Structure 1
């Protein structure tokens, strides 16, 4: 099974921790974020991982070499010349991902107790082009889904901006979920990306095709998850890891 880890971000919200190292190597509970994600993917059965790099990218390469790729096949998608955002990053990594196998995408700064294997298998059963981890969490930006959990729009409640492929879209008629930073995609997604080039957001891409194909929410119950975006969130992330450890003992 294949997975891609987004590790190319600048980590500006984590400064000063990221002034001299990539966000992916900032430690939580004594281990770099990237190590936590790789080990979770490995435990779930993923044996081929693609990692994109940009900010202090060589440090990530050296870290993986030091740990002998954690016994996995790991390939690097190098974005050091140009940071391509989430959609562009996936498209650049197509040479590793575009075959007959669905693949999971995981932001390096997401901490959760999600069962990654169950998520992957649920996506396969759904037949959707993409399945997005989503749930109820206070944020300013929400994905909007209909009664069948199909993506229909996006709303920024702070600015009032709304995006949708549907004319006369009314956000209040839909269920609002926060995006969890983990998704599973069918390799068919690359056929839809033919006209997209360079840097682009995967969410903008999903919204552009949502009326033509199935982009669905995956909403497990009693899920703990958060993105480690600021230094003060590191302690809260450790609590999730502690509860995950207790659950799996």
Structure 2
């Protein structure tokens, strides 16, 4: 059984007013909600169990997606509370539902024509990241990919993290040593944990050159809709 996590808890502040009444992953893009594009790709890649992180307007997700059976999936919902827990805290919150094997994680607010079947079933290290060319709104990129397929925090050329990756649960071990203690539900980004793993050559990656959009603003949503 292959598992996956979809990050869908964010408030989508930059997409307002569209996200005042609809969570960003449920906004319609090219005929169907963003998150449905992901569910279809995950099902095609052999995933049969998906955890959806929720917070903002959380009740709309089960109403729209149900139990996942229409895609041949089983969907579980991991509620983060009224305040989203960021990517790292959200992943930590979902781990009890995800189990002990590697899983795919996808940001709920991106659109891509990437084939998820190309993702490794298991990363060679703690994580495998799908990287893309730097978009105009993020020209500096995030990480560097070397010729051996390892991802580094420093180096050139720089590429942007797509929001798609495969992770081992062990990436979250020792999170307090990296991000410090957190009061209440732990709220922290995943990037510091990834950078700590990169320092030990434990993050691999691949460069995806197809279509990819961070649907972060109404303008980008409109541009995506206008593509042929």
Task: Name the count of aligned residue pairs.
Answer: 218
Q: Which runs of 5+ in 1 are unaligned?
A: 154-170, 243-249
Matched, 1:193 2:175: yes
Question: Which residue of 2 is the match for residue 135 of structure 1?
Answer: 132
Contact 1:94 1:190 in 2 (8 A): no
Residues 75-224 of structure 1 correspond to what in structure 2 (within 5 A)?
A: 75-99=76-100, 101-121=101-121, 124=122, 127-138=124-135, 139-145=138-144, 146-153=146-153, 171=154, 173-193=155-175, 195=177, 197=182, 198-220=186-208, 222-224=209-211
Deviates more, 1:206-215 or 1:176-185: 206-215
1: CA distance, partners of 2:226 / 2:40: 18
Residues 225-236 of structure 1 correspond to what in structure 2 (within 5 A)?
A: 225-236=212-223
1:140 Cα offset (Å) = 4.2
Contact 1:104 1:120 in 2 (8 A): no
1: CA distance, partners of 2:224 / 2:14: 15
What RMSD in Å do the two structures reach over aligned CA positions?
A: 2.3
Q: Deviations over 1:165-201 (max 9, x none)?
A: xxxxxx5x43311111101112322334364551111
1: CA distance, partners of 2:204 / 2:166: 10
Give the secondary-structure state (helix, strand or coil) at the position aligned to 1:91.
Answer: helix
Give the secondary-structure state (helix, strand or coil) at the position aligned to 1:201.
Answer: coil
For the pair shown, the structure with the greater C-alpha radius of gyration is: 1
Contact 1:150 1:217 in 2 (8 A): yes
2: CA distance, partners of 1:78 / 1:225: 27
Distance of aligned partners of 1:186 and 1:77 in 2 relative to their CA distance in 1, 3 Å threshold:
same
Q: Which runs of 5+ in 2 are unaligned?
A: none
Distance of aligned partners of 1:67 and 1:86 in 2 relative to their CA distance in 1, 3 Å threshold:
closer
TM-score (norm 2): 0.85
Q: Deviations over 1:29-54 (max 9, x none)?
A: 22111222112211221100000001
Give the secondary-structure state (helix, strand or coil) at the position aligned to 2:187.
Answer: coil
